[in-house]
Each structure stands twice: as structure tokens, then as C-alpha cells.
Amino acid sequence: MAKKTVVEWVDDIDGTAASETVTFTIDGSRYEIDLSEKNAAKLRKTLSSWIDASRRSSNRRARAAQPKTDSSESTKARKWAIDNGLDVGPRGRLRSEVIDAYRTRTTDKK
């Protein structure tokens, strides 16, 4: 026997059939709301004066600062990684996972 599942998108304001999902952000919180064509237009019209007076901002987030590793720590971490069978090259930057593992394992022994 066949089974058929039907998904209906419903307007979050009035319960009618939704035609789109509108995404917006305010005070750093991102929201989504499913709206009919009529309610989406109403939302955009309501916000238009605020949008017209505003400026776009970048949606890129700053990367968290990585703890610095000095060259002697990198050398020790590389040797430790090789001795413990981790896949690291003879030169170049070590992956943060390798540095983290080295720091975790070696500080536990001190």
C-alpha cells in the first residue's frame, strides 16, 4: 500500500496558506516567519521606512582569536603528533586539533 504525505506551509499570522518564508534579524537574533503573499507584502511595507533609513551591514562574523603557539611549542607538538601516529607534515602550520590535543595530553602529565 502506498503512502502519501502532504506538507502545507501555513501563514504564522493568520493561518492561511503561506507562500514564502521571510528571514530577518534584529538585535543580533535571526528570525524566520512563514507568510502568505499578502502578509509578506504588509511586513515589507511596514518595515520599508525603517529599511530606507538604515544601512546594510556585513553578515560576516569576526573569527575568534586563536591562542598563539611559539615555534618551540610547534616543534614539540609536531614531534608529539608524529610519535603518536597523527597525520602531520614535516613543515607548515599545524591544525588547531593537533595543537589542542598536544596541549591536553602534555599538560595532564605535568
Hey, what domains does the chain have and what are their CATH numbers? Answer: 7-57 (3.30.60.230), 71-108 (4.10.320)
Residue 96 has pLDDT above 80, yes or no: yes
Question: Which of 89, 88, 109 minimizes the C-alpha distance to 97?
Answer: 88
| The pLDDT of residue 36 | 97
pLDDT in tens, 33-51: 999 999 999 999 999 999 9
pTM over 0.75: no
Average pLDDT, the chain: 87
Burial class (CB in 10 A: 0-12, 13-18, 19+), 86: middle
Count CA atoms within 13 Å of residue 28 on its CB side.
1
- Find how far residue 76's CA is from the centre of its chain: 32
| The pLDDT of residue 10 | 96
